[in-house]
Amino acid sequence: MTTERKSFVWDLPTRIFHWALVVSFIFVQGSAEWFQTAHSFFGYAILGLISFRILWGLIGPKEARLNILIPTQESVELHFSQLKQLRFHSHSGHNPLGGMMVLALLSTLTLSAVTGHVAQTEWFWGLEWVEEIHELLAQLSLILIGVHLLAILIMSGLSGQNLAKRMVKIT
């Protein structure tokens, strides 16, 4: 197996999910203040995409499984130790911190979409605290996405690997 082939980790459904989630998030953020119908549509799209990803993470191939995103304490400690020493162990998928980031992103996006839906229901309509939680989660998602992108850039530079290429490569 060539090095190029080894760098291809995620299957097509996982890559389609990733980019559809990126597009939906951009549109949900862009329409938040001026186009409620689009905002709701893309919020529900995010819920649907994450529902698919959870299902695919349970029944899909080994590389798509959600359980591989949950690091052990030992793997996190080893990863931090290697980072301190500027040594970079190659990971076929996410490194331990990357796996935790994916779980954090999926969680905040899910909770943001759910609170957005709940805020529109009869029981919670107009309750400011629900909307505030929704907005806080959306802002947290933006911060996590920024950290995610920054980490990809830094780790790509430090490790000499194009980590972003793994999510766009089409075979």
Q: What is the CATH number of the domain that holds 59?
A: 1.20.950.20
> Which of 20-24, 119-123, 135-139 is the least confident region?
119-123
What percentage of the chain has pLDDT greater than the value 70? 80
What percentage of the chain has pLDDT greater than the value 90? 22
CA angle 100, 50, 26 (to 5 degrees): 90
What is the C-alpha to C-alpha distance for residues 149 and 154, in angstroms, rounded to an integer? Answer: 9
Q: Which domain holds residue 132?
A: 3-168
What is the C-alpha to C-alpha distance for residues 99 and 147, in angstroms, rounded to an integer? Answer: 13
Q: What's the pLDDT tens digit per position in 3-25?
A: 333 444 677 888 889 889 999 99
Q: What's the pLDDT tens digit per position in 95-107?
A: 788 888 889 999 9
92 C-beta neighbours (distance < 10 Å), count: 11
Residues 6+ apart with CB under 8 A from 37: none
Q: Number of folded domains in the chain? A: 1
Q: Is the pLDDT of residue 48 over 90?
A: yes
Q: What is the pTM of this model?
A: 0.76
135 in helix, strand or coil? helix
Asked if 48 and 69 count as a contact pair (C-beta separation under 8 A), the reply is no
